[in-house]
Structure 1
Amino acid sequence: MSYLNLLELKEEPFSNSPDPEFFYESPQHLDCLHRLEISVRLMRGLNVVLGEVGAGKSTLCRLLLRNLNRDANVCSHLLLDPQFASARAMLEVLYTMFLREDPPAGLSEWQLKEAVKTQLFKTAVDDGKLVVLVIDEGQKISHSSLEVLRELLNYETNNTKLLQIVIFAQTEFAEMIRRHPNVADRINEYTVLGPLSFWQTRAMIRHRMAKACVTKHQPERFTMLGYLAVHRLSGGHPRRIVRLCHKAMLGCILRNKKKAGWALVHASNTDVTRLARRSRLGLVGGLVAASLMLTVALVAGVMLISDKAPLNAGAAGEAGENRSTPHTTPTQQEEPRDLLPPAAYDSLAGHGDAIRMPVDFAARPDEDAEFPPAVPSAVPSAVPPVKSLAAAEFIEPIQPAPQPEETAPPVLAELDAATPPPPPALGTYTLAKPVSLEALLQLVYGETGDELRQRVQALNPDLAQDAMLPAGAAVQLPEFSRGDAVGPNAAFVVQITQDESFQMMVDVLQGLKDQGLDVALAAQRLDDSRKLFAILEGHSFQTEQAAAHALRTLPSLFQNGAKVVRDMHRKGEITLASFRKETAAMDVAATPRNAVEGIAPAQ
């Protein structure tokens, strides 16, 4: 059975080709399309659309051309690669494009411009047609080519431009425009495309699935946390969304899943990033190998020279010569040298570190669970020592004389006893991007007080308090109990989701806050080594009915799996962030006494 049949699809929903049929009309993309078409039809001249890689520029370009080509009075031309070695090369391409023939040999650059100008006047004025030049990959335009475009914009009648130009380019093209103010002054529409929001990302995925689905009512292929993971990992860029969703759909087939959740989307993203990591490791490995070969050659040369030195000294002795080598004395000894250069040690230094283990989806006991069971993020590098066949194996070793046991001075012993032990760790969070410590603490704990900073510093002695934490840094975060945060009379909160993975829950917390939700993180000890983390809505309530009402006011996508939780502060949970206590006006009934305690739904 094919990929499309397994997913009940009639065509590929996440193709990497810029197909206008799958264009998602986000507000910014639709607004940009309308502005461009209006500007072109009003013959306003130059229009520029900028965006990061994968922002949807090429799809928007194809859609604009399709809309223009439906009008018989429009002559549209597409230039896919505007990278030319000279202005003459660009003029020759424009000559062929507008006149539909190759330029004759021997024409000068001025003659090429005049021929293009004459043809534009004939088409736009005599024939009454709209001439449009659309340029994709505009960041490749050189200074000389941009000057040619500026001169073409000077071809105009008393009230209209003869040529309408639309440039789609990456954001670095803005610097090119800044260096050419005479071009910037001619821009009519200047649009910068940004990333999609979470809701737009979800709508784009659902739109593509609906277009490709066999039936009108397509099944939901992502869970709420799956959509959230796609948005966070893609950054809201359409091309990355499409690529990641394609990998996630393949993951659903391979793992026999109906929906892609948080863990499966992250595993799909790991498959993509692992290739880039391997290519970087291959380059580093090649450099290390070359460095080792060069070092071995140097060491061999040094050894060869040192072997010849005694022979020369003996010959000098037989000749009765007593000469001393310049700049050396008999008491000077050469310092030992490393056999490898420092760069080789730096590149090999991380091989003894712990290795992050991938999640084994096939071994999951619960196929309907959203997340896999917690797995250790690292395994110890327990490598047995290699047995050496040195001479010491055959000769009885000499036992050293017993040394008296050293005891610390009384003052040092008192200092060691007075040093407080480090606070218990809540978990280790690995940063996906650079962030300040203050922002990280505000995310997890909802505050950045001095006591909290001291606890973090105790667990991370090498951590710089005021510097930006780099991507990939692993920060141990301490337990910081806020047991009074819920309040003695406000026993109910709304739990959105829970899991034993601290890394995953902090990522989910950040994703929900990015969507404007007021949420907090809490933890419950399961045993001495395990904790259960929960994402809670940021209010507390005196009654179960008030909490249930708050649950129903959550966005519909987040209501699935959410539940009311009671009496967190009485069970010794680690409440990490403050909750805003609701007033009695929101309470609609008395607190029931048969509610289940702990992180569990109220009965």
Structure 2
Amino acid sequence: MDYFSILNLEREPFSNSPDPDFFYQSRQHLDCLQKIELALHLRRGLNVVLGEVGTGKTTLCRQLIRRFARRPEVETHLILDPSFRDGADFLATVVRLLTGKRLPAEASEWQAKEAIKQILFQKGVEQNRNVVLIIDEGQKIPPFCLELLREFLNYETNDRKLLQIVIFAQREFEETLRLHPNFGDRINLLHRLKPLDFGDTRRMIRFRLEKSSASQTPLDLFTLPALWAVHRASGGYPRKIINLCHQCILAMIIQNARRVTRATVRRCASRVVTAREAAGAGRRRAAAWGTAGAALAAAALWALSAEAPRSFLRERLKATDPQRAAVSRDLPLPPAEKALESKAAPPAQEEPPPSAAAEGGETVWPAAGPAEPGPPASSPIATAGASEALAGRENNLDPQRSGPPAILGEVRLRRGETLSGLIHRVYGNYSNRHFRAVILANPAIDDPDRIEAGRAIRLPAIAAAVNSLNKKAWWVKIGEKETIEEALAALRNLPESAPAARLIPRWDAVKGLRFLLVLRQVFSDPETARLQIALLPPPAADGAELIDSWQGALLFADPHPAER
């Protein structure tokens, strides 16, 4: 059954993913956004948004990031899960967010705090940037993180905070605030989200149908009594509204009906409630049978992991062309042609002024020393003691030699595609940095949420911050194209039986700009990778080879999986 063609839709209208394209600006959500934007513009420090499960906190969080992505003077950073092991783990994450670099393993907690002070001073005072830290699932914040966040709020000048903090949390976070009054007293804005009223429920459903429609004619799939029944059954919680409407649409299609009626909503709502009750009973039964089930599963897995399947795969591998299993290594470039070089760390200095670190472009780590109290919060932040450069290597292009292009190419949006989806497919992930660069490269785009099909999108060449693994890894390359359009077309045309693949744009001084198609899975040993090559269906198997190194190349997408 073709779900979209039956209803004349381009995409799923009631998806439970926090897609910014489907953000419905209800009165209370719009009011919350405006209050947060004003507080961040005035640099007031700490802001907290509370709400029950399913009131739209995560969607509101994504929309806030998207709005500020259009402002070059605002720099946003997102922490999705604040369940940190200890204070050092949290500080290392903040440093990585602010600088894109790792905290040296030998750095103490005092050094990390001093480094964050220096970074915020450079960005907030010398560069006049508004740095915003957004934390989702705030009810998971451990007490030691609250104390560190409170210290961050002390980093300020005479007229503004250097770090703005926005926390989205469930209602139990109120108890945390009550138990930590020193932190709660710092709150500038405390906004509580409530369920939608009937008017907003009805408008949200119609907005989502209109947003996903393939025609200009509004879709009227719910009768007015059905809309009222949805509101009553869901209690006005956006997540429950979306899930219930999805079930109602499926029931309407199965019944071959033209519209969702009140009776359909009531039947679907009763099934949802019954399923939840059954799930609770099922969990209790599962606890009783858990031990026996685990033993049976372990025995089955042991039997299936015998040598026979691996022997079969090895025989398949022997029958294939050995060149397809050859390892493709990136040879180092000759010194005269080398376009990438490691940036040298600046020498240690005695008590460098804050401007010295900004001019050098490096983050300076304060040397270990006594934990003396820092300067007053209202004064400029100075770095005390000797310093050493941030550990880790960073590839920089030599400006005297021919370098990579500024633009990867142009791609025309297809029907049903979104700008955020295109960014994720080309760069490997969707971030504020990528969105802002694409918007700046396409000044003709008035509204990123409404881009017509066929519009040419220029994709800037954004160097990726590669997260190197601590162990050797192998990738399976299944194709290589000269243009971004050819590469995306090849991805779209892969057979359904082929494993998931992704795009890695890369540049080097020998081949220039190339677009590699590699499997998403990263392999820990070459034998497993070659076995995967042997099982690839055509045409993905034609010319497939291994890659075990990305050295000598400038990458525009990180080939390694994200760590957090």
**Which deviations, in whole Å up to 9, do the C-alpha atoms of 1:30-50 show, x marking residues without a partner?**
000011011101111010000
Secondary structure of the residue aligned to 1:4 is helix
2:97 maps to 1:97: yes
> 2:371 — aligned with what?
none
Secondary structure of the residue aligned to 1:263 is helix
1:113 Cα offset (Å): 0.6
Counterparts of 1:26 and 1:135 in 2: how far apart (Å)? 22
Distance 1:254 1:180, change over 3 A: same
> 1:64 — aligned with what?
64
**Which deviations, in whole Å up to 9, do the C-alpha atoms of 1:166-193 show, x marking residues without a partner?**
1001111111111122222211111000
Counterparts of 2:67 and 2:160 in 1: how far apart (Å)? 21
Counterparts of 1:44 and 1:26 in 2: how far apart (Å)? 25
2:200 maps to 1:200: yes
Structure 1 vs Structure 2 CA RMSD: 1.8
Secondary structure of the residue aligned to 1:191 is strand
> 1:599 — aligned with what?
none
Counterparts of 1:53 and 1:281 in 2: how far apart (Å)? 22
> 1:359 — aligned with what?
none
> 2:272 — aligned with what?
272
1:275 Cα offset (Å): 2.9
1:163-562 matches, within 5 Å, as 163-285=163-285
Counterparts of 1:286 and 1:154 in 2: how far apart (Å)? 50
2:114 maps to 1:114: yes
TM-score (norm: length of structure 1):
0.47
Q: Runs of 5+ in structure 2 lacking a partner? A: 291-564
Is the CA contact 2:248–2:260 (under 8 Å) kept in the aligned structure 1?
yes
Secondary structure of the residue aligned to 1:96 is helix
* Identity over aligned pairs, percent: 49
Distance 1:287 1:22, change over 3 A: closer
Higher RCO (CA-CA < 8 Å; seq separation 6+): 2
Distance 1:90 1:260, change over 3 A: same
Distance 1:245 1:177, change over 3 A: same
1:284 Cα offset (Å): 4.4
2:136 maps to 1:136: yes
Q: Which amino acid aligns with 2:143?
A: H
Counterparts of 2:283 and 2:61 in 1: how far apart (Å)? 37
Distance 1:8 1:165, change over 3 A: same
Counterparts of 2:128 and 2:62 in 1: how far apart (Å)? 24
1:230 Cα offset (Å): 0.7
Q: Which amino acid aligns with 1:81?
A: D
Counterparts of 2:165 and 2:278 in 1: how far apart (Å)? 42
1:280 Cα offset (Å): 2.8
Counterparts of 2:174 and 2:38 in 1: how far apart (Å)? 23
> 2:294 — aligned with what?
none
Q: Which amino acid aligns with 1:174?
A: E
Secondary structure of the residue aligned to 1:54 is coil
**Which deviations, in whole Å up to 9, do the C-alpha atoms of 1:124-168 show, x marking residues without a partner?**
111111101011111100111111100000000000000000100
Counterparts of 2:117 and 2:23 in 1: how far apart (Å)? 36
Counterparts of 1:251 and 1:164 in 2: how far apart (Å)? 46
> 1:571 — aligned with what?
none
Is the CA contact 2:210–2:219 (under 8 Å) kept in the aligned structure 1?
no
> 2:509 — aligned with what?
none
Counterparts of 1:246 and 1:283 in 2: how far apart (Å)? 25
Counterparts of 1:160 and 1:182 in 2: how far apart (Å)? 20
Secondary structure of the residue aligned to 1:188 is strand
Secondary structure of the residue aligned to 1:257 is coil
1:218 Cα offset (Å): 1.8
Distance 1:143 1:287, change over 3 A: closer
Distance 1:255 1:43, change over 3 A: same
Secondary structure of the residue aligned to 2:209 is helix
Distance 1:99 1:241, change over 3 A: same
Secondary structure of the residue aligned to 1:113 is helix
Counterparts of 2:265 and 2:5 in 1: how far apart (Å)? 21
Distance 1:283 1:60, change over 3 A: closer
1:22 Cα offset (Å): 1.2
Secondary structure of the residue aligned to 2:114 is helix
2:113 maps to 1:150: no
Counterparts of 1:94 and 1:202 in 2: how far apart (Å)? 41
1:97 Cα offset (Å): 1.1
**Which deviations, in whole Å up to 9, do the C-alpha atoms of 1:98-117 show, x marking residues without a partner?**
12111112111111111111
**Which deviations, in whole Å up to 9, do the C-alpha atoms of 1:320-359 show, x marking residues without a partner?**
xxxxxxxxxxxxxxxxxxxxxxxxxxxxxxxxxxxxxxxx
Aligned residue pair count = 291
Distance 1:226 1:42, change over 3 A: same
Q: Which amino acid aligns with 1:171?
A: R
Secondary structure of the residue aligned to 1:189 is strand
Q: Which amino acid aligns with 1:237?
A: Y
